[in-house]
Amino acid sequence: MQNSLFRKELVFGILLFFFTASIVSALNANPLSNTTSAKLGNWLYVGGHGQGNYTRIHDALDNASMGDTVYVYSGTYYENIVIETEGLTLTGENKYNTTICSRNAAENTTKINALDVTIQGFTIENATGSNTLWDTSGIFICSSNAVIKDNLICDNRLGLCTLSIVYNVTICNNIFLDDGMLFGNYLHTPSNPDVTMDCFLYNVYNNTINGKPLYYFKNQNNFIVPDDAGLVILSNCSNVTIREAYFSRCNFPIMLNYCYNCIVENNIVEDSYGEIMTMRSENCTFQNNTVDKIVFGVCLDQKSKNNIIRNNKVTNSSGGVVVMIESNYNSVYGNNFYNNTLGIGLRQGAHNNNFYRNSIEQNRIGLYLTGEPYDNSIENNTFIKNVLQVQSMGKTKNYYNNNYWNRPKVFPKFIFGWLIGEQKTPIFTIPYCITGVDWHPLKNPPIRVLKQ
């Protein structure tokens, strides 16, 4: 009887041993068993030497279903990835040696068009864009609930971009090199709707830009941002100061989204594809900053109002200051805009803004107006050696007074409008209407002109 019981226990023990061993073997066969929690759905493999593995990420994505994981072994994959499957996880073996390199540099390297997508463990590069595709990105997010973590994102026109209809995004533990981020991009959404606060309130932590911290703050007040910042994003913050930091090669170096009473001062910004930018921000001050070789020195966007831009120097950029999309009651004064494409830009219904005592010298266009800005005041500015002192696209009504127009003038300065064709470009080289008059142009510059 005892021998029979012993044999039963022995058989049970052997069966338990093999059952346990099979479970351990199955766990070890999963290359992410030690780093990623289990997830429902199938696993599809790209690269490596497994039987049935895909050779292209694109093919694996085409065969994936909701909740699946596409695991990519180390290597360089020259592809442009579009994820259309909800709940999908795209995972690289190691972010330093698993690379997605844009095959067509004018397209996004990876694009997320589905909810609840995770991208992790890759180097993502080479979406350098074109002259007409300004927002080409390493990761372009068009749907909510995305998770972007533990990636190396480098050498793209924009590192990461989210649309204004995207919410609840997590961005963590990423390394950005010569790249950065843009939230709330409204360009590709229907009729360019107004951006809401929620499209800026993400979960962003433990990321770096060129070896420096990427500081993201939301719903916080009354503090000074550390001056070792590589990039700063403030969302729904107030009474915050950003000062004496150096920003370079980081896309949009400073972004203030739904912020109030913040100060940006004494910073140096250079060689970046982007701008110091506000979205729906009020009563903020930008002063004594030095900006060189970026898109716009400061851009006030999406109904930003009652802000002050003063005593800044912007050179060799696409524009000194641009005020756009119904931004109003802002004051821009005492700035030097030298050798840019535009000195000052007024766009898309910007109104009741004041521009005075600015030096606008040797730009291609000193003052550029388009999209029917109105009731803006341009007074006591120095316009000198610009190819065009003013270019006003279409009919608009603004006020000019006591400006210096390149040389002493005895007679009034007439501001002409240019006819706009279907492609929004001038179709005549000769202006066709008068959109404003400076009845009292100055004989001498009211402020010191910036020298080369």
CATH number for the domain harbouring residue 376: 2.160.20.10
Copy the structure tokens of residue 199.
């499209």
Question: Do 174 and 321 belong together in one domain?
Answer: no
Last residue of a domain, one of 209, 240, 268: 209
Does position 99 have pLDDT exceeding 70, yes or no?
Answer: yes
Q: What is the mean pLDDT of residues 165-187?
A: 96
For residue 433, what pLDDT is reported? 74
Lowest average pLDDT, out of 32-41, 78-87, 196-205, 255-264, goes to 32-41
The predicted structure's pLDDT at residue 223: 98
Report the range out of 20-34, 112-126, 183-197, 432-446 with the highest average pLDDT.
112-126
In a domain, 97, yes or no: yes
- One domain, residues 201 and 229: no
Residues 285 and 395 in one domain: yes
Q: Grade residue 130 by pLDDT with cuts at 50, 70 and 90.
A: confident
- Is the per-residue pLDDT at 29 higher than 70? no
Q: Note whether residue 286 is domain-resident.
A: yes
Residues 297 and 401 both lie in one domain: yes
Please report whether residue 73 resides in a domain.
yes
Q: Average the pLDDT over each of 68-72, 147-151, 196-200, 407-411 and give the range with the smallest value.
A: 407-411
Residue 64 within a domain: yes
Tens of pLDDT, residue by residue over 40-74, are 689 999 999 989 999 999 999 999 999 999 999 99
Structure tokens at 429: 């080289």
Q: What is the pLDDT of residue 3?
A: 44
Return the pLDDT at 37.
Answer: 40
Q: Using the predicted structure, report yes or no on whether residue 446 has a pLDDT greater than 90.
A: no
Does residue 239 register a pLDDT over 90? yes
| Averaged pLDDT, 192-210 | 92
Shared domain for 263 and 203, answered yes or no, is no
- Contact at 8 Å (CB) between 325 and 303? yes
- Compute how many other C-beta atoms are within 10 angstroms of the C-beta atom of residue 227: 12
In the prediction, which pLDDT does 448 show? Answer: 57
Q: What is the mean pLDDT of residues 147-160?
A: 97
Same domain assignment for residues 176 and 244: no
- Residue 408: what residue type? P
- Is 330 part of any domain? yes
The residue ranking higher by pLDDT, 113 or 12, is 113
pLDDT > 60? residue 117:
yes
Final residue belonging to a domain, choices 209, 241, 274:
209
Phi-psi region of 251 (alpha: psi -120 to 50; beta: other; left: phi over 0): left
In a domain, 1, yes or no: no
Residues 164 and 312 in one domain: no
Would you say residue 198 has pLDDT above 60?
yes
Number of domains the chain contains: 2
By residue count, the chain amounts to 452
Which helix (H) or strand (E) segment holds residue 265: the answer is strand 263-265
Per-residue model confidence (pLDDT) at position 34: 34
Residues 383 and 341 in one domain: yes
- Mean pLDDT confidence for 91-102: 97
Is 28 within the bounds of a domain?
A: no
Q: Of 49-58, 105-114, 389-398, which gets the smallest average pLDDT?
A: 389-398
Residues 161 and 249 in one domain: no
Contacts of 300 (CB under 8 A, 6+ apart): 278, 281, 307, 309, 321, 322, 323, 324, 327, 330, 350
Q: Domain for residue 27, yes or no?
A: no
% of the chain beyond a pLDDT of 70? 86
pLDDT beyond 60 at 20: no
**Over the chain, what is the mean pLDDT?**
88
pLDDT, residue 33, reads 38
Write out the residue range of the structural domain in which residue 68 sits.
38-209
In order, the DSSP letters of 347-380 are ETT-BS-EEES-EEES-SEEEEEES--BS-EEES
Q: What's the confidence (pLDDT) of residue 6? A: 39
In this structure, the answer to whether residues 46 and 127 fall within a common structural domain is: yes
Output the pLDDT for position 420.
61
Predicted confidence (pLDDT) per residue in 283-338, tens digit: 999 999 999 999 999 999 999 999 999 999 999 999 999 999 999 999 999 999 99
∠ CA(345), CA(348), CA(353), 5° rounding? 60
Q: Which of 209, 241, 262 is the last residue of a domain?
A: 209
Handedness of CA 419, 422, 425, 428 (dihedral sign): negative
Task: Give the DSSP per-residue string, 30-63.
Answer: STTTTTS---SS-EEEESSS-TT-BS-HHHHHHT
Q: Are residues 194 and 248 in the same domain?
A: no
Asked whether residue 151 falls in the same domain as residue 290, the answer is no
